[in-house]
Amino acid sequence: MNAIGVDVGGTKIAAGLVSSGGELLRSVRYPSSGPPEKLLENIARAVLEAGEGSEVGGVCLAVPGFILSKENKVIFSPNLRTIEGIPLKEELGRRTGLNVTVENDANAAAWGEFRFGTGRHVDHLVFLTLGTGVGGGVIIGGELLRGAQGAGGELGHVTIQATGPRCNCGNRGCLEAMASGTAIRRRALELAAERPDSALGQLAAERDLLGEDVTRLAREGDEAARRVLEEAGVWLGIGVAGFVNVFNPEMVAVGGGVAEAGDFILEPARREVQLRSMSPSRDLVEIRLASLGVRSGMLGAAALARHPSGECVLGG
């Protein structure tokens, strides 16, 4: 039987009908803007259109923010405040007639990479998504780590620099504050001001710098752009070295927009892990790019969708 995974983001809702083999059979998009009633209506509409004419066993929503998974509620979602506090299982169940559950978006993406992506041959996976923020998910022995309340696996908010810049969560020097796309852009602007003659400096004088500019200029050989990515990679590696010691994973998969920078960021991260984490964990672990791109959340959510009995629709 098929399942539906719904990626609910700050601007859009993307619902996908997924087969048990992880094939995306159909996908539908709606905006996520507007009041709560409109949001529910659009999610329900996306689900019904995605599943039209197919037998659907269950639906799982991948949502950014802190989730109470047992209650299927989002308690805090800075980029999607309208979804907070809604009893999603009941409200969407009533509108779609389907069993609806909720998962953190990074956990869902981690599960997607584990079931269908770069982590499909391992049992112990740490997943990081580097975008505007840093999301994380941990799979140990084939099980998604959720913690006591479903709020576990927030790898982006581990402190890696005690006096570092303020993070969106209120703390200072989180991995997110040092290695996210936002952090890279902030550092790029600083270096552009310090080195006005670099390609980075020249571009920043002409127009606003974007994260992808840094990657492109690094590829073109600009030393300042390369240094920005190198520094982010070092911070990433400091974070990952800790995760390697704690979880002893076979693989660390890195996705999100920043991962487009590839080895400019992964190589320094691998070096830090070799320097800082312990043997035998550091000898085993492979640090590589995630393979599903933006589809990981939707595919992972579908693989986490459950029948009313509690069984996963796509098996597992």
Residues of this chain that bind Zn ion (CB under 5 A): 157, 167, 169, 171, 174, 176
Of 20 and 159, nearer to Zn ion (C-beta) is 159
106 Cβ partners below 8 Å, 6+ apart?
127, 129, 135, 136, 137, 153, 156
- In whole angstroms, the minimum distance from the beta carbon of 7 to Zn ion comes to 22
Considering the complex, what minimum distance in angstroms separates the CB of residue 187 from Zn ion?
17
Nearer to Zn ion, 35 or 170 (CB): 170
User: What does each C-alpha distance from 252 to 85, 95, 272 come to in angstroms?
Assistant: 33, 39, 14
Question: Given its phi and psi angles, is residue 150 left (phi above 0), alpha (psi -120 to 50 degrees) or beta?
Answer: left
Q: Nearest CA to 4 among 12, 13, 104, 139?
A: 13
Name which of 46 and 167 has its Cβ closer to Zn ion: 167
Q: Least CB distance from residue 159 to Zn ion, whole Å?
A: 8
What is the closest distance, in whole angstroms, from the C-beta atom of residue 174 to Zn ion in the complex?
A: 3
Considering the complex, what minimum distance in angstroms separates the CB of residue 152 from Zn ion?
Answer: 15
CB of 169 to Zn ion, least distance (A): 3
Report the residue number, 157 or 306, with the smaller CB distance to Zn ion. Answer: 157
For residue 176, the minimal CB distance to Zn ion (Å) is 5
Which residue's CB is nearer to Zn ion, number 36 or number 152?
A: 152
Q: Which is nearer to Zn ion, 174 or 313 (CB)?
A: 174
Residue placing its CB nearer to Zn ion in the complex, 160 or 273:
160
